[in-house]
A = this chain, B = another copy of it.
Amino acid sequence: MSSNNYYDVTTWPVGNPSKDVGEVINSIIADIKDRQTQIDVNNGGKPGAVIYIPPGDYHLRTQVVIDVSFLRIEGSGHGFTSSSIRFNVPEDEWPDLHELWPGGSRIIVDLPLDGDGEESKGAAFYVERSGSPRISSVEFSNFCIDGLHFTSDGSGMPPENTYVNGKTGIYVANANDSFRVNGMGFVYLENALTIYNADALSIHDNFIAECGSCIELRGWGQASKITDNLVGAGPKGHSIFAENHGGLLITANNVFPRGASSVHFQGVTRSSVTNNRLHSFYPGMLILAANSSENLVATNHFLRDHEPWTPFLGVDNGLDDLNGLLCVSGSNNSVIGNHFSQIIDAQSIRPAGATPVIIRLMAGVGNFVSNNHVVAMDVHVTSSDSCFEAQVDALLTTETSDGLAVTAVMVDSESARNTILDSGSDAQVIADRAVNAFRATPTVGFPPTTEK
Q: Which residues of B contact A246 (CB under 8 A)?
A: 391-392, 394-396
From 174 to 221 in chain A, residues with beta carbon under 8 angstroms from any chain B beta carbon are 175, 177-178, 180, 182-183, 185, 199-200, 202, 204-205, 207, 209, 220-221
From 335 to 388 in chain A, residues with beta carbon under 8 angstroms from any chain B beta carbon are 336-339, 341, 366, 368, 370-371, 373, 375, 388
- A89 located at the interface, meaning its Cβ lies under 8 Å from any Cβ of chain B in the complex: yes
User: Whole-angstrom distance from the CB of A143 to the nearest CB of chain B?
Assistant: 11
Q: Which residues of B contact A89 (CB under 8 A)?
A: 132
Candidates B39, B78, B110, B294; contact of A398 at CB < 8 Å: B294
CB-CB under 8 A for A103 and B337, given A55-B72, A180-B78, A230-B225: no
- A415 located at the interface, meaning its Cβ lies under 8 Å from any Cβ of chain B in the complex: no
- Is the pair A95, B39 in contact by a Cβ cutoff of 8 Å? yes
Q: Which residues of B contact A375 (CB under 8 A)?
A: 294, 332, 366
Chain A binding surface, main DSSP class: loop
Candidates B3, B135, B276, B441; contact of A54 at CB < 8 Å: B3
- Is the pair A103, B69 in contact by a Cβ cutoff of 8 Å? yes
- A430 located at the interface, meaning its Cβ lies under 8 Å from any Cβ of chain B in the complex: no
- Is the pair B104, A395 in contact by a Cβ cutoff of 8 Å? no
- Is the pair B55, A5 in contact by a Cβ cutoff of 8 Å? yes
Binds B, one of A21-29, A152-160, A250-258, A318-326: A250-258
CA distance A417 to B137 in the complex (A): 49
CA distance A366 to B444 in the complex (A): 12
- A131 located at the interface, meaning its Cβ lies under 8 Å from any Cβ of chain B in the complex: yes
**Interface size class of chain A, counting residues whose CB lies under 8 Å from the partner chain:** 35 or more
CA distance A371 to B133 in the complex (A): 42
CB-CB under 8 A for A230 and B251, given A39-B100, A375-B366, A449-B433: no
Q: How many copies of the shown chain assemble into the complex?
A: 3
Q: Which residues of B contact A370 (CB under 8 A)?
A: 337, 371, 373, 422
From 294 to 349 in chain A, residues with beta carbon under 8 angstroms from any chain B beta carbon are 294-296, 298-301, 303, 331-332, 334, 336-339, 341
- A81 located at the interface, meaning its Cβ lies under 8 Å from any Cβ of chain B in the complex: yes
Q: Which residues of B contact A59 (CB under 8 A)?
A: 43
Q: 6 A-B Cβ contacts within 8 A?
A: A3-B54, A45-B103, A77-B137, A78-B178, A177-B388, A271-B277
Closest to A273 in B: B301
Q: Which residues of B contact A251 (CB under 8 A)?
A: 251-252, 275
- A282 located at the interface, meaning its Cβ lies under 8 Å from any Cβ of chain B in the complex: no
- A40 located at the interface, meaning its Cβ lies under 8 Å from any Cβ of chain B in the complex: yes
- Is the pair A301, B81 in contact by a Cβ cutoff of 8 Å? no
- Is the pair A78, B396 in contact by a Cβ cutoff of 8 Å? no
- A293 located at the interface, meaning its Cβ lies under 8 Å from any Cβ of chain B in the complex: yes
CB-CB under 8 A for A47 and B55, given A247-B277, A334-B373: yes
Closest to A375 in B: B332
CA distance A93 to B97 in the complex (A): 58
Q: Which residues of B contact A80 (CB under 8 A)?
A: 136-137, 177-178, 200
- Is the pair A205, B207 in contact by a Cβ cutoff of 8 Å? no
A81, A103, A271 — most chain B CB neighbours (10 Å): A103
- A46 located at the interface, meaning its Cβ lies under 8 Å from any Cβ of chain B in the complex: yes
CB-CB under 8 A for A139 and B202, given A1-B8, A94-B39, A103-B69: no
Q: Which residues of B contact A131 (CB under 8 A)?
A: 96-98
- A437 located at the interface, meaning its Cβ lies under 8 Å from any Cβ of chain B in the complex: yes
Q: Which residues of B contact A392 (CB under 8 A)?
A: 199, 220-222, 244, 246
- Is the pair B54, A6 in contact by a Cβ cutoff of 8 Å? yes
- Is the pair B223, A97 in contact by a Cβ cutoff of 8 Å? no
